[in-house]
Amino acid sequence: MLLLGGIMLAGIAAAGQKQIQLAQVMAEPMPADLVITLERTACYGSCPDFTLTLDARGHVQFQGRGYVLVEGGRERDVPGKDVAELYRFMLASGYLDFHDEYSSRVTDHPSAITSLTARGASKKVRHYLAEGTGAPEVLASIEKRIAEVAQIAPWVGTRQQIQEMYQARLNAGHGSMPADAVIRLERTRCSRSCPVYTVDVDARGHVVFEGRAFVAKKGRHEHDVPVADVGQLYWSLLQASFDDLKPEYATDAPGRPWAISSLTTGGKTKAVRHLLARGTRAPPGLEEFELQIDGVAHTAAWVGLDAEVWDSLRDPEPADVKR
């Protein structure tokens, strides 16, 4: 009983100390050299790409780099008291104790990079915006609060506005497939006679096919397809929100083949592994995109399967195919 009482008293004392520390933080005067920054990076898709800087006077400097309503530099002033409250919120949230980076093995998402500079010292946190980074939940709140205090919403725009702008650019021909981009589809082995190959399609319409097993033509084969078809393929990728898809859609189905689609551009690759079985919860648009890659690349000419077998690729549990 005495032990329990001691633990309770220790807990009360710790809570009291935390309240004292919090009160001290809230009373903290705002440093004259305070600078808070927020940067949002690009992704494979229409993620807003910008930087903003906010100082102790309430002066905001914004630089829109891509997928924002206003590109280029903009400036405005916001109330100093809002900046002071933001500063105290960051301190009270333990910002100075956060890790310098919260990362993930996923490579296709954007990052939010924040920093706080005061009294000659600086703290920066790089937050990769994907699941499994281990970032504290309050970090996202800090990122959101910085944007709100800086009042950048009219420059960034809503997600719907950005998507509408994105589509308008595509329709006008300004969102064509990047010159260095390559779309790939790989189909893997299974416990049956599934065709095994990879096919690459680049922005010039050049197709490279590598047949490995259960195909009519093994080895490397190349040809060219219309650039307009490639542009339509890229548009389908965007329409399928490829950048928002999970890295993998799988289930417990031993022996089933995989369809692995990817987009490589700017030195980065976004890949989606899709197990061709029931229960993966893969969006319908992903399967359509995989089949469209085959269609644009004309892989049937090398794979050599008839229409019935190609249709079986749509069936999560196709019958055995004998060659």
> Which residues are CB-contacts of 114 (< 8 A; sequence separation ≥ 6)?
36, 37, 38, 39, 95, 124, 125, 127, 139, 142, 143, 146
Residue ranges with strand state E in the chain = 35-40, 49-55, 59-66, 72-77, 101-102, 111-118, 121-128, 182-187, 196-202, 206-213, 219-224, 248-249, 258-265, 268-275
**85 against 322, higher pLDDT:** 85
Chain segment 142-195, per-residue pLDDT in tens: 999 999 999 999 999 987 887 777 666 656 554 567 888 999 999 999 988 899
Quickly name the fold that domain 182-312 has.
Answer: Mago nashi protein (3.30.1560)
Q: Are 114 and 141 in contact (CB under 8 A)?
A: no
pLDDT above 70: residue 313: no
Q: Is the pLDDT of residue 237 over 50?
A: yes
How far apart are alpha carbons 253 and 248 in whole angstroms? 14
Residues 97-117 pLDDT 10s: 999 999 887 656 789 999 999
Residues 18-53: pLDDT tens digits? Answer: 444 444 555 567 899 999 999 998 775 567 889 999
Extents of the domains making up the chain:
22-171, 182-312
pTM of the complete model: 0.54
Query: For the stretch 236-270, what's the b/e string if a residue is b when 16 or more beta carbons lie within 10 angstroms of its beta carbon?
Result: bbbebebbebbeebbeebeebbbbbbbbbbeeeeb
22-171 has CATH 3.30.1560.10 classification:
yes
Does 22-171 match 182-312 in CATH topology?
Answer: yes
Quote the pLDDT of residue 24: 52
Whether the Cβ atoms of residue 273 and residue 178 lie closer than 8 Å to each other = no
pLDDT at 65: 85
pLDDT in tens, 50-80: 999 999 999 999 999 878 889 899 999 999 9
